[in-house]
Chains A and B, each alone.
Chain A
Amino acid sequence: MEFQAHQIRDILKINYRYTMGGQSKFFIELMNNKKLLGTKCTKCGKIWMPPRINCSECYEPAEWVEMKQTGTIDVSTIVWYTTSAFIKAIPYGIGFIRLDGADTAMLQGIFSENLIPSKVKKGKKVRAVYQKEREGKMTDFFFVPEDEYESWIIKSEYEGGSE
């Protein structure tokens, strides 16, 4: 006899907590003080952003350093299709941003009032804008082209970072 699988549509909910471990300080400072923290290797001096607890090159401990709120786009794209978590936000920019003074680039959203590829392309200067309500997550902030910064931070839901 042919096998028939009986299926029931249901929803499973899971409550859980996870820790940001050694990188917790980055998320706490982001949430409480609108600061961006990177780390600097105590041996070779390489500045990691996003922060690494130990230098990925010489494996020595790295110490916390406050980074600038500004940086340059290394590469970017404009996203028109994504996972359910972000689908309401499309289209939005995403890219690797090298904060001023950092040796590595961080992955973050890039928003613009005029979102066309040339607005978010390589070499463009960007500045961090923060959500007023923050949870200590990467979505607490995003980058905008530097010349649009003032017009973003006057919006009721956003504010500028502290330096």
Chain B
Amino acid sequence: MMAASSYVSMVNAHFEEFGNPTEEQMALVSVKNHGNAINNPKAQSPMKLTVEDVMNSRIICYPFKMLDCCLYSEASAALILANEEKVKELKIDNPIWITGVAAANTDCFIGNREDMGRLYSNIYAAKAAYKMAGLDYNKIKEQIDVAELHDAFSGQEVISYEELGFVPFGEGGKWIEEGGPMIDGELPCCPCGGLIGCGHAVGATGIMSTGEAALQLRGDAGKHQVTIEKGRGLAHSIGGPGAAYAAIIIMENQEAKK
């Protein structure tokens, strides 16, 4: 089973349960992320697309089309991590603080899961990371400025809106139709273009997403900078067989920390 058919199993099972996301709603993620990549000079797949372009691209595995899928790529990403003492010693004036971090696992084999349309590791990791950061799963959308999600496949990003608590289950598709995760929306998701827009350098992308959220919080994201009001952001990554492993990091800038 390839990555696409593994993810599509979860998306199809989710659709069976919630009637969401539709093919058009998934296509909106592709339009958004390829579009956001236009303003990111490091992105490898910038494209100005319409929903129709995505719908007409060749089918990979039903209902994923080529433009619903990220492109495997090669790239590198790096973060510099330090504790509070070191930050003070080096007199770093604009650090981004990690205030919540959590990871969780679910059954690697999708056939073991009683509920194939949900990635419970996403839900557990989100709740634990928010709790550590003192945030509320049911109000998280109002508490953060930006989210960098693991959008290897468009449909999975929509499901992540629900599993990470941005919107109730079954409403992820509606939320993107209303513009919620767009770069100028209620909570911009993947303003750098995500994996679909940047290319998926497997192994490096989790670092990239975390770094991108940090750049946003520091106000250093350049042309794809979003408005930072709360000073708080989220990075999300999943991986492993059946995307069983999920990790979520909550970050805050200097202002929010005060």
Q: Which residues of A contact B (CB under 8 A)?
A: 50, 56, 74-83, 94-96, 104-107, 117, 121-122
Report whether over half of chain B's contact residues are helix, strand or loop; otherwise say mixed. Answer: mixed
Query: Which size bracket describes the interface of B in this complex?
Result: 20 to 34
The reply to whether B16 and A80 form a contact with Cβ atoms under 8 Å apart is no
The verdict on A77 contacting B62 (CB below 8 Å), with A96-B111, A107-B111 known, is yes
Of all chain A residues, the one with the shortest Cβ separation from B10 is A75
Interface mask (B58-92 → A, CB under 8 Å = 1, otherwise 0) = 11111110000000000000000000000000000
Q: How far is it, in angstroms, between the C-alpha of A119 and the C-alpha of B16 when the chains are bound? A: 15
The reply to whether B110 and A81 form a contact with Cβ atoms under 8 Å apart is no
CB distance from A83 to the nearest CB of B (A): 7
Q: Which residues of B contact A (CB under 8 A)?
A: 1-2, 4-5, 8-9, 12-13, 16, 58-64, 109-112, 116-117
The reply to whether A96 and B116 form a contact with Cβ atoms under 8 Å apart is yes
The reply to whether A78 and B62 form a contact with Cβ atoms under 8 Å apart is yes
CB distance from B11 to the nearest CB of A (A): 9
Chain A hits for B5, CB < 8 A: 77, 79, 82, 94
Chain A hits for B1, CB < 8 A: 94, 107
The reply to whether B61 and A78 form a contact with Cβ atoms under 8 Å apart is yes
23 A-B residue contacts at CB 8 Å?
A50-B111, A74-B13, A74-B116, A75-B16, A75-B110, A75-B117, A76-B12, A77-B5, A77-B8, A77-B64, A78-B62, A79-B2, A79-B60, A80-B60, A80-B61, A81-B59, A82-B5, A83-B2, A94-B1, A94-B61, A96-B116, A104-B112, A122-B12
The verdict on A75 contacting B62 (CB below 8 Å), with A82-B2, A95-B9, A96-B110 known, is no
